[in-house]
Amino acid sequence: MEGKDTLFYERIEINLASKPMVYTSWVNGQNNGAGIEFKLTEATDSSWLFENPLHDFPKKIHYIRTGTTNLEAFVSGHEKGMPREEHFYFIRKEE
């Protein structure tokens, strides 16, 4: 916690060689250190949807490129039986 914000660290890996592509997420302090896999279920030139219907939250991770330097992520699923959704907005860091 930092003030009223909950901070966490997440490591992700996207395995491009898998058919379908697999997105794996590791979050510190969760799932006994094991990664959670999400399979690519839809893709276009500007969006990618990864899903794991057996996981609680998230079940879906949807990335959408909204510009040359912008990316949005929408994660959705259920937590304690209730629907939950979060949005994240990314801007490419200038080098």
Which residue in this structure is represented by tokens 């996207």?
A: 14
Asked if residue 3 belongs to a domain, the reply is: no
Q: At 44, is the pLDDT very low, low, confident or very high (cuts 50, 70, 90)?
A: very high
Q: What is the rounded average pLDDT of the residues 19-45? A: 92
Q: Tokens 């939250």, residue?
A: 57
| 13 within 8 A of 24, measured Cβ to Cβ | yes
Determine the pLDDT at residue 6.
67
State which residues form the domain around 40: 10-91
Total tally of structural domains belonging to the chain: 1
Domain annotation covers residue 37: yes
- Return the pLDDT at 2: 64
Closest CA to 23 of 73, 83, 93: 73
On whether residue 4 sits in a domain, the answer given is: no
